[in-house]
Amino acid sequence: MFDNKTLWDSVLSEIENSVSRATFTTWFKDTGIIRQEEGVIFLSVPNQFVKEWLFNKYHKTILKKLRDVAEYVRNIEYVVTKEVAKNESVIRKVENPTAELPLANYYINKEDNLNPRYVFDSFVVGSFNDLAYAAAQAVIKKPGIAYNPLFVYGNTGHGKTHLIQAVGNYMKGPTQNKKVYYMTSENYYLGFVNAMQENKITVFKEKYRKYDVFIMDDVQFLSNKEKTQEELFHLFNTLYDNNKQIIFSSDKHINYIPNLEDRLKSRFAAGMIVDIQPPDYDSRVAIIKTKCLFQDLLLPDDVIEFLAASENNIRELEGALNTIAHQTNIKNKALSLLEIKNIIKETSKPKRMVSIKEIIKTVADFYDIPETSIYEKTRRKEVVKPRQIIMYILREDFKVSYPTIGDKLGGRDHTTVIHSCEKIRREIKESLQLNEEIERIKTLLK
Amino acid sequence: MKIECLIEKLRDAVSRVEKTINKNSNLPILSSILFTASGKTLTIKATNLEVGVEISIPVKIHSEGIVATPAVTLQQVLFNIKSDKILTISEENGVLVISVESTKTVLKTIPYEEFPIIPRIEKPESVFKLKTKDLCLGIKSVIFSASLSSIKPEQGSVYIYHKDNSLVFVATDSFRLAERKITLKTNNQIPPLLIPYKNCLEILRVLDGVESEIELSVSKNQINITFPDYFIVSRLVDGTFPDYEQIIPKEITTTVTFLKQDLIDILKTLTIFSDKFNQLTFLINKNQNTTTLETKNSDVGEGQGSLKTKVLGESLTINFNQKYIQDVFQSISDESVNFAFGGLHKPLVIEGAANKNFRYLVMPMNR
């Protein structure tokens, strides 16, 4: 099968030779093939006038020329497509000293709730999310078939919503033209409760069944909400049985969402489960650079490095960048590293100071063992593991020295501490469960 | 084709459709007007592939037919005929002969088969009725705020949507935003529309002076406007308009009410001393209940005007683009206007003191 551009270019050059220049420019400019499906060529045209004209006057000609090149072509469909917003960084913005209305964040499409900013082009891929990204790519290549449902989980602020909305934005685009809907589970719950109260439950049930791609964010919110879970279960079945693509996201792995019905849990697990980790340093640098590009903001390397080192939450980073951009606009000149440090200090959430005792208590409670056993000499398995985890966290996150850790945890030798940290480090890579547990403990400590 | 018609009717119809024509078109047929004589009417058509217009007038038909002729020449001929008698138009041997009393003109024709098909919506998503003057008022009230460039298509358009018994018209160029609400009671679901800026201007020109009620049909890519003898179609922009309600400042630091005419008068003088950025400074003094407006141009001089105004809230010194401020008066009919400032670096909301159906947001200048 020929690719879209080559096929259309050859047809255009044939047509160009057989009509006047003016005719060619008027009717054939801005046309292109957007997709091919089972012998049907989907041709994009800029407006309805062109569609009418090509269909009424040139359909047979175009069809013939297409079949001359590609025998498999059976028919042509004309699709009026939206004009592509020109890339802003290419066009020099006219200098205007008036500030801009802060509209940038409010371009949510009311029909499908998708934010046009969340696209693959603006999504930075790194080792922390490459698995999730690959899964999303597989979904768009074979929607409803490859990974259905796709379940993405990970702590807040690392890009889940961006990724799942990127799938949505791609699938609704002209190359796929699917009916897409995005919503949070909270909105689903509220809609359901409302429908029950107003006796409009049938309408509610029907509402979501017509979509080709259904995306639900933050499903952890459904924990404990039995009736809503049941409704979602039915919706899931209808969509799934019709090979419609379903995508879920959550801040936790399905096994850790409390009070989740088994049958819903098994549905969530029926396709592919992927996680998004907190981004590593290099990925954070890449993310900051990409966001600067999209915002037309120029930052020197030392500033970027400082920002990447100070925060690992992408949402917080974005907030910091927005503040920097805003202040740069107001002051009308680039900010110094010192000024930026001050901004970050003022705007970032205060990090809680934790004591070693608090960490020990939290971990002990988490594993349901008495706090005192951590300090004891005991080598019981159920105590050793939490103790090693405490050592790991103290070292990794709080950079406490090995001897100090050993001291605080019952007078142990620093080599024991080193060994424990290494062990946990290894096991995290191998055990999904351990990784989960440690992430949850870290969240509890925030 | 041979017909007889009243020159007034023809002249009016031609001058309306002619406004849609792109005179610099590549294709000669696009600079032409199409006449279709059939039954008891002559239908006059023109298009620039963004907007298409068809107007029908009653005529006496001797023989039916279709002919296309360059719009500019036709317009000039009709404009210069002073008689108010009956006009005869006939196509003979590939030319168009227009004669009235003792005047006769012969115009070139173009093969009519080349004339574009003016699309009509087959399955509208929504159909609703509106008074022409409401549509025109809504568009006129906000169109000055739309962007002239089409980098962001939704900013180069007028946005129209239905909410709570009102049809809302909005336009913005990202520095200021104008919103006008027109009461509309309808049970129909009206999907939000984006009509390109230029198309709006053309629609306004075609509808100028029309009194009747119009029916609007909407589909994903086009809007059809119909009323007896008239059909207009315009391309719609497929895009998203931002949820601007979210940026309307929730906290107002300073409110000042002006007599509109006082402001207009002062600004006329201050314009003389505007700098290249059109910077207009507001010095709002709470303690003295005065607002002073200033402009400065190092090459020309300075202008200053003070007004006694009731000031609610804090004193404030803030700069705006004078043009953005002066633009708003065309859409406010009230005698008094309220300026509600969100503070430095926040939007200013301007409304008529009495009528709440128009709102204007404008951002201040960076210091």
What pLDDT, in 10s, does the model give residues A222-262?
999 999 999 999 999 999 999 999 999 999 899 989 899 99
Q: Name residue, tokens 């593991």.
A: A385
pLDDT category of residue A91 using cuts at 50, 70 and 90: very low
Mean pLDDT of chain B: 92
**B148 has a chain A CB within 8 A of its CB:** no
Handedness of CA B120, B124, B129, B133 (dihedral sign): negative
Residue type, A444: L
Whether B166 and B195 have beta carbons less than 8 Å apart is answered as: no
What does the pLDDT look like over A43-80, one tens digit per residue?
Answer: 999 889 999 999 999 999 999 999 998 899 999 999 88
Say what the pLDDT of residue A83 is: 64
Residue B38: pLDDT over 60: yes
Residue A352: pLDDT over 70: no
- What is the pLDDT averaged over residues A360-387? 91
Residues of chain A with Cβ-Cβ distance to B192 below 8 Å are 110
User: Closest chain A residue to B234 measured between Cα atoms?
Assistant: A48
Q: Do B28 and A52 touch (CB under 8 A)?
A: no
Whether B94 and B109 have beta carbons less than 8 Å apart is answered as: yes
The first and second tokens of residue B162, run together, are 């239905």
**B258 has a chain A CB within 8 A of its CB:** no
**B238 has a chain A CB within 8 A of its CB:** yes
Say what the pLDDT of residue A428 is: 85
The answer for B 27-46 residues in CB contact with A (under 8 A) is: 27-28, 30
Give the single-character DSSP code of A160. Answer: H
* DSSP per-residue string spanning B77-116: HHHH----SEEEEEEETTEEEEEETTEEEEEE-B-GGGSP
Residue A3: pLDDT over 60: yes
pLDDT category of residue A99 using cuts at 50, 70 and 90: confident
Q: Do A81 and B26 touch (CB under 8 A)?
A: no
Buried b (16+ CB within 10 A) or exposed e, B25-55: bebebbbbbbbbbeeebbbbbbbbbbbbbbb
Q: Rounded to an integer, what distance in angstroms lies between the CA atom of residue A22 and that of residue A27?
A: 9
The answer for B 190-229 residues in CB contact with A (under 8 A) is: 192, 220-222
Residue A416: pLDDT over 60: yes
Which of A23, A48, A82 lies closest to B119 in CB terms? Answer: A48
Residue A84: pLDDT over 70: no
- What is the pLDDT averaged over residues A176-205? 92
Residue type, B76: Q
Residues of chain A with Cβ-Cβ distance to B366 below 8 Å are 97-99, 329-330, 332
Q: Do B240 and A108 touch (CB under 8 A)?
A: yes
- What is the pLDDT averaged over residues A172-188? 91
Handedness of CA A118, A119, A121, A126 (dihedral sign): positive
- What is the pLDDT averaged over residues B128-141? 95
Handedness of CA A215, A220, A225, A227 (dihedral sign): positive
The answer for A 1-40 residues in CB contact with B (under 8 A) is: 21-23, 25-26
The answer for A 389-418 residues in CB contact with B (under 8 A) is: none
User: Closest chain B residue to A114 measured between Cα atoms?
Assistant: B240
- Give 3-state DSSP helix, strand, coil % of chain A, rounded to 5: 55, 10, 35
HSE of A61 in the Cβ direction (CA atoms, 13 Å)? 15
Q: Do A22 and B27 touch (CB under 8 A)?
A: yes
Q: Do B116 and A85 touch (CB under 8 A)?
A: no
Helix (H) or strand (E) holding A381, with range, is helix A381-396
**Distance of alpha carbon A377 from its chain centroid, rounded?**
46
- The whole model's pTM is what? 0.76
**B275 has a chain A CB within 8 A of its CB:** no
Residue A92: pLDDT over 60: no
